[in-house]
A and B are shown apart, each in its own frame.
Chain A
Amino acid sequence: MTIQTVDYTTKIPNNVNLTEDRQVLRALESWHPGYIDWWMDMGPEGFQDALVYLRTAVSVDPKGWAKFDYVKMPDYRWGILLAPKDDGRAIPFGRHYGEPAWQEVPGEYRAMLRRLVVIQGDTEPASVEQQRHLGKTAPSLYDLRNVFQVNVEEGRHLWAMVYLLQKYFGRDGREEAAALLQRRSGDADKPRMLGAFNEATPDWLSFHMFTFFTDRDGKMQLESLAQSGFDPLSRTCRFMLTEEAHHMFVGETGVGRTIQRTCEAMKEAGIEDASAIDKVRALGVIDLPTMQKKLNLHYSLSLDLFGSEVSTNAANTFTAGLKGRFQETKIQDDHRLESATYPVLKLVDGEIKRVDEPALTAINMRLRDDYTADCQRGLDRWNKIIDKIGVPFKFALPHVGFHRQIGEFKDVHATPDGTLIDDATWTRDKETWLPSSADGEFVASLMKPVTEPGQFASWIAPPRVGIDNKPGDFEYVKIAA
């Protein structure tokens, strides 16, 4: 690869007055080459020279944050953009409720804040690493462009977190910024920090499920960080959320188009029974029960990202005013929660019961419940697609006790409907609820690349409208010869 020379003061889209900020410029100069190395090593494999029709955020006003053009990914203009500053903003929750939002890191919360930024930052490059092989099997140029868009934006999200680390957290921050480039998804020695970000993304259905479920966790985390009393973090996350919406769109429509294709194929072939898996698979589409299994997997892995049901850390970061609740400012309560309670599902004497916990320590649960509701709305839209075509099948979210590695249910087994079962039953039946290796092989067998503009693989329907309103046969990616 070629070593790029970057004029840091002019080439990096930013609204943080980078030209004048010698401290951050210097830190960025030493971090940037490592970032490019990481992108070349761990970014989309085989497509670094392709011209991709990408949107780039060059400023935060509505006109500037989505500039579309062909760009080679390593030349993407990753920038540092924060939502505009609201001068009167007050801390919306916790013990500092009502005080002016902090523009600098309060010393007593520095370590806690840095940890929040590092954990968020670690997820951003992780998904790029998880998705790096997908280019080889993209079902269309449209989808190929979508994964790359998600990838470059996750790269920008990494930049956003790195900016905060370098700007506000001194030497420790710079070290953490460097460490974000050293950890690798799924690596035995330097894994990413959270479980779901070390899982493989073996195929496109997984990718779409991942962006639906796991990026949605990211959205919820960003939503709660967007409430932060530390204003630069809040502003950063608010802008990231505008990009995150697209990732969610890629996931939801990706799965939706897969469902649509399957249902249409079933109708055409006169198959009514969704459980006639072999017959459906013979049509070159993915049967609905297998999609339900993938859904079960990704949803349960994503629930783990919310942490333990009862969490001191979550309580501490809330009280400190660092991480709030989903739509904190729209909630009608005292925003301190010192005596409030919140119902939490727990394992009590071997039974799953709803228990009232102090609302402070149940902050994670509240966010997770909001997440579940958000997921359910997506599922409802998927079910509408099935309904409209007239196949008798319905997707459902599994119970929160199902397939968990973290929290209250990690040591027990439960069915997707929440019945506790013993180890033997779990071992016997788990492949009826989670993808088996045979399911994986079948899905993999459909993953044939389609690189003709306007063409789509057998298992997925075309989108209703193109990106940037481009026509159906638009060449979203010009693959280098």
Chain B
Amino acid sequence: MSETPHNAERPLANGQKRIDFQTEPARYRHWKLAVDGAVATLTMDVDEKGALFDGYELKLNSYDLGVDIELADAIERLRFEYPQVRALVLRSAKPRVFSAGANIRMLAGATHAHKVNFCKFTNETRNGIEDFSANSGVATLCAINGTAAGGGYELALAADHIILIDDGAASVALPELPLLAVLPGTGGLTRISDKRKVRRDLADVFCTTEEGVKGARAKDWRLVDEAVPGSKFDDAVAARAKEFAAKSRRDGAASGIKLTPLTRRFETDSIEYATLMVEFQRSERIATIVLRGPTAPPPNSADAMVQQGAEFWPLKLARELDDAILHIRLNELEVAALVFKSSGDPEQVLAYDRFLETNKAHWLAREIRLLWKRVLKRVDLTSRSLVTLIEPGSCFAGTLAELAFASDRSYMLAPTLPSPASGGGSGRGSGDNKHPAAIALSAANFGDYPMANGITRLACRFLADPSALEAAKAEREKLLDAERAQKLGLVTFALDDIDWDDEVRVFLEERASFSPDSLTGMEANLRFAGPETLESKIFARLTAWQNWIFQRPNAIGDEGALKRYGTGQKPAFDMRRV
């Protein structure tokens, strides 16, 4: 493997070939998940020797992507496997240390792409923790028993309530700027200002004070909610957790469903899942994701849905799509465009949407929709060109139509006009039994899946013309052909089969030829029109600044702070302000 100073590719630990996002509690190396009645406790106990890559150790509960994959998995399990849980406690098993944050040696040796993807995933995980509270009613309480620095404190910031031990030593800190010349990039700056509303001048002091803030001052400055002496700490945490559980409006069943391992088959140029397939055309730098519609109608009751558990089609597809997107993000860096295709009966997909709508008060239906919401957000935030091809036999209806709206462009195949030579035709595929290309909307497209900016993809699409949104709404539950879809503004281009192959090919070739950086920037700017939220600020403002800083010599140059961290040598900065 060739190594350039700023872009050292580290080998994965234990000879692994790819970063795998699938895990389960029995395999955790860094977290312990314990459920006691309505209170779940996630205890961070990072295995120093359990790093994802070779070349660094995870001291002092510092973390890398591998640690966060377990955390994300644990939160998913709490959602689906433990509906009885009503409050979550995050804590550390290490004495006098909560977490030192993202591992600095890992960051210093990581490729730029890995750093960006790592931050993105950890941000998504923390947003997921907040969503768990806001939408599933499981508030998180963070018990800080010692130093919580950088990403360690940022993890705490994702909680609803932070209890800091007041022992004259424990502190919360965001030392990134003074120590590493980067930003607290996992939402830290946004959450202290927008979520916790720390006064801006105090925030300025806090973010430039390497050692952080302790005890009563941390509470006064709103950095934590409580500062509690050590002798009362455990009792305070337990009492608060009980309170949160009592206040929760989660009405889950006594037991959940098992998130069984996904079945995946990795081939050289494809990945086969149960409900989707990924095909890589590597020379074209394209990954095609073909989603498969349901093979059976929805069950006839919520209980029957619970019975199906992880096999329930919308759940299974969401989990597999999530895994595929993450796999491509981290392991298939050269893929320029994700092409979404689908096969199946759009009416069946609508039927599943109706089923979830009818049962929306049921804990499992709610969690499945929330999962889809998060998966679709993950798609929005994937820095590859996204295109949806709506062809005959496809099933982009309701929830699945969101992929078309998440895409930078969508192409829909229109029936070919009858011509004397070909006789009557209904477009490509008319020779087989496939139904003509159709797209369909359901209630889900109008509120269940808001983007990071807080509004739906359709609302975002029609910002200029709210009546267009109303017009689309009026067409719910109908199969819309290409002409209608284009008229409603639901697709970018409707093409007949004379133009189809060439147009799609040229688009994808052109896309693959552009600079990946400028594309990432352009797409990220165009995808999120409209209002800002905490989440959109994290992904737009904070992340963009961080990614700029991550490229600057002051951080990653040979004399930069990340490179020099731990050597004892002082970084040398280019002192010109930009």
What is the interface of chain A, defined by CB distance below 8 A to chain B? 95, 111-112, 115, 179, 182-183, 188-191, 193, 312, 314-316, 318-320, 337-338, 358, 360-361, 363
How far apart are B150's CB and chain A's nearest CB, in angstroms? Answer: 14
Task: Establish whether residues B229 and A361, one from each chain, have CB atoms under 8 Å apart when the complex forms.
Answer: no
Task: Establish whether residues B568 and A319, one from each chain, have CB atoms under 8 Å apart when the complex forms.
Answer: yes
5 residue pairs A–B, Cβ–Cβ below 8 Å: A188-B230, A190-B168, A315-B568, A316-B570, A319-B570
How far apart are A316's CB and chain B's nearest CB, in angstroms? Answer: 6
Q: Which residue of A lies closest to B59 (CB)?
A: A308
How far apart are B365's CB and chain A's nearest CB, in angstroms? Answer: 46
Task: Establish whether residues B168 and A361, one from each chain, have CB atoms under 8 Å apart when the complex forms.
Answer: no
In this complex, how many residues of chain B approach chain A with their Cβ under 8 Å: the count is 18
Task: Establish whether residues B230 and A111, one from each chain, have CB atoms under 8 Å apart when the complex forms.
Answer: no
Whether B423 sits at the interface, judged by CB under 8 Å, is no
Report if A111-B210 is in contact (Cβ < 8 Å); known contacts: A182-B168, A189-B167, A193-B169.
Answer: yes
How far apart are A83's CB and chain B's nearest CB, in angstroms? Answer: 27
Task: Establish whether residues A361 and B570, one from each chain, have CB atoms under 8 Å apart when the complex forms.
Answer: no
CA distance A182 to B209 in the complex (A): 23
CA distance A182 to B168 in the complex (A): 8
Q: Given known contacts A190-B168, A315-B567, A338-B569, what 16 new A-B pairs fall within 8 Å (CB)?
A: A189-B167, A190-B167, A190-B230, A191-B167, A191-B230, A312-B567, A315-B566, A315-B568, A315-B569, A319-B568, A319-B569, A358-B567, A360-B567, A361-B567, A361-B568, A363-B568
Report if A189-B570 is in contact (Cβ < 8 Å); known contacts: A111-B211, A183-B168.
Answer: no
Task: Establish whether residues A358 and B230, one from each chain, have CB atoms under 8 Å apart when the complex forms.
Answer: no
CA distance A351 to B51 in the complex (A): 20
The A-B contact count (CB < 8 A) is: 57
CA distance A480 to B178 in the complex (A): 55
Report if A312-B568 is in contact (Cβ < 8 Å); known contacts: A111-B210, A179-B168, A190-B167.
Answer: yes
Task: Establish whether residues A360 and B168, one from each chain, have CB atoms under 8 Å apart when the complex forms.
Answer: no
Task: Establish whether residues A360 and B568, one from each chain, have CB atoms under 8 Å apart when the complex forms.
Answer: yes
Return chain A residues, CB-CB under 8 Å to B230: 188-191
Q: Which residue of A lies closest to B48 (CB)?
A: A411
CA distance A232 to B565 in the complex (A): 28
Task: Establish whether residues A115 and B168, one from each chain, have CB atoms under 8 Å apart when the complex forms.
Answer: no
Task: Establish whether residues A314 and B568, one from each chain, have CB atoms under 8 Å apart when the complex forms.
Answer: yes
What is the interface of chain B, defined by CB distance below 8 A to chain A? 166-169, 178, 209-211, 229-232, 565-570
Task: Establish whether residues A189 and B566, one from each chain, have CB atoms under 8 Å apart when the complex forms.
Answer: no
Closest 6 A/B residue pairs (Cβ): A315-B568, A360-B568, A189-B229, A188-B231, A312-B566, A189-B230
Q: Which residue of A lies closest to B232 (CB)?
A: A189
Q: Which residue of A lies closest to B165 (CB)?
A: A189
CA distance A473 to B480 in the complex (A): 110
CA distance A346 to B231 in the complex (A): 36
Return chain A residues, CB-CB under 8 Å to B568: 312, 314-316, 318-319, 337, 358, 360-361, 363
Pick the contact of B211: A115, A182, A319, A320 (CB < 8 A).
A115
Q: Which residue of B lies closest to A358 (CB)?
A: B567
* A189, A318, A320, A358: most-surrounded residue (chain B CB, <10 A): A189
Return chain A residues, CB-CB under 8 Å to B167: 189-191
How far apart are A184's CB and chain B's nearest CB, in angstroms? Answer: 9
Pick the contact of B231: A183, A189, A312, A363 (CB < 8 A).
A189
Q: Is the interface of B mostly helix, strand, loop or mixed?
A: loop
How far apart are B63's CB and chain A's nearest CB, in angstroms? Answer: 18
Return chain B residues, CB-CB under 8 Å to A190: 167-168, 229-230
CA distance A398 to B311 in the complex (A): 60
Q: Which residue of B lies closest to A360 (CB)?
A: B568
Pick the contact of A361: B166, B209, B566 (CB < 8 A).
B566
Return chain B residues, CB-CB under 8 Å to A358: 567-568
Return chain A residues, CB-CB under 8 Å to B229: 188-190
CA distance A2 to B169 in the complex (A): 33
Pick the contact of A320: B166, B169, B210, B570 (CB < 8 A).
B570
CA distance A285 to B229 in the complex (A): 43
CA distance A183 to B229 in the complex (A): 12
How far apart are B277's CB and chain A's nearest CB, in angstroms? Answer: 43
Pick the contact of B565: A188, A193, A312 (CB < 8 A).
A312
Q: Which residue of B lies closest to A361 (CB)?
A: B568
Return chain A residues, CB-CB under 8 Å to B565: 312
Task: Establish whether residues B231 and A360, one from each chain, have CB atoms under 8 Å apart when the complex forms.
Answer: no
Return chain B residues, CB-CB under 8 Å to A315: 566-569
Return chain B residues, CB-CB under 8 Å to A193: 168-169
Task: Establish whether residues A360 and B166, one from each chain, have CB atoms under 8 Å apart when the complex forms.
Answer: no
CA distance A115 to B209 in the complex (A): 12
CA distance A179 to B231 in the complex (A): 18
CA distance A312 to B103 in the complex (A): 14
CA distance A445 to B210 in the complex (A): 49
* B229, B231, B565, B566: most-surrounded residue (chain A CB, <10 A): B566
Return chain B residues, CB-CB under 8 Å to A112: 210
How far apart are B501's CB and chain A's nearest CB, in angstroms? Answer: 58
Q: Which residue of B lies closest to A118 (CB)?
A: B211
* A115, A316, A320: most-surrounded residue (chain B CB, <10 A): A316
Pick the contact of A360: B178, B232, B569 (CB < 8 A).
B569
How far apart are A476's CB and chain B's nearest CB, in angstroms? Answer: 36
Task: Establish whether residues B209 and A111, one from each chain, have CB atoms under 8 Å apart when the complex forms.
Answer: yes
CA distance A450 to B210 in the complex (A): 52
How far apart are B240's CB and chain A's nearest CB, in angstroms? Answer: 18
Q: Which residue of B lies closest to A175 (CB)?
A: B217
Q: Which residue of B lies closest to A362 (CB)?
A: B568
Return chain B residues, CB-CB under 8 Å to A316: 568, 570
Return chain B residues, CB-CB under 8 Å to A111: 178, 209-211
CA distance A127 to B259 in the complex (A): 55
CA distance A188 to B96 in the complex (A): 12
CA distance A368 to B178 in the complex (A): 29
CA distance A314 to B567 in the complex (A): 10
Return chain B residues, CB-CB under 8 Å to A183: 168
Q: Which residue of B lies closest to A338 (CB)?
A: B569
How far apart are A2's CB and chain B's nearest CB, in angstroms? Answer: 29
Q: Which residue of A lies closest to B210 (CB)?
A: A111
CA distance A320 to B211 in the complex (A): 17
Return chain B residues, CB-CB under 8 Å to A314: 568
CA distance A95 to B229 in the complex (A): 41
Return chain B residues, CB-CB under 8 Å to A189: 166-167, 229-232
* B229, B230, B569: most-surrounded residue (chain A CB, <10 A): B569
Return chain B residues, CB-CB under 8 Å to A360: 567-569
Q: Which residue of A lies closest to B566 (CB)?
A: A312
CA distance A358 to B167 in the complex (A): 34
CA distance A193 to B210 in the complex (A): 18
Q: Which residue of A lies closest to B228 (CB)?
A: A189
Return chain A residues, CB-CB under 8 Å to B211: 111, 115
Return chain B residues, CB-CB under 8 Å to A115: 211
Return chain A residues, CB-CB under 8 Å to B567: 312, 315, 358, 360-361
Return chain B residues, CB-CB under 8 Å to A95: 569-570
* A190, A358, A361: most-surrounded residue (chain B CB, <10 A): A190
Q: Which residue of B lies closest to A96 (CB)?
A: B570
How far apart are A315's CB and chain B's nearest CB, in angstroms? Answer: 2
Q: Which residue of B lies closest to A312 (CB)?
A: B566
Q: Which residue of B lies closest to A180 (CB)?
A: B168
Q: Which residue of B lies closest to A316 (CB)?
A: B568
How far apart are B509's CB and chain A's nearest CB, in angstroms? Answer: 49
Q: Which residue of A lies closest to B95 (CB)?
A: A405
How far apart are B61's CB and chain A's nearest CB, in angstroms? Answer: 14
How far apart are B221's CB and chain A's nearest CB, in angstroms? Answer: 14
CA distance A71 to B565 in the complex (A): 51
How far apart are A5's CB and chain B's nearest CB, in angstroms? Answer: 30
Q: Which residue of A lies closest to B60 (CB)?
A: A308
Q: Which residue of A lies closest to B565 (CB)?
A: A312
Return chain A residues, CB-CB under 8 Å to B168: 179, 182-183, 190-191, 193
Q: Which residue of B lies closest to A315 (CB)?
A: B568
Return chain A residues, CB-CB under 8 Å to B231: 188-189
CA distance A142 to B99 in the complex (A): 49
Return chain A residues, CB-CB under 8 Å to B169: 191, 193
Q: Which residue of B lies closest to A184 (CB)?
A: B168
How far apart are A386's CB and chain B's nearest CB, in angstroms? Answer: 39
CA distance A112 to B166 in the complex (A): 22
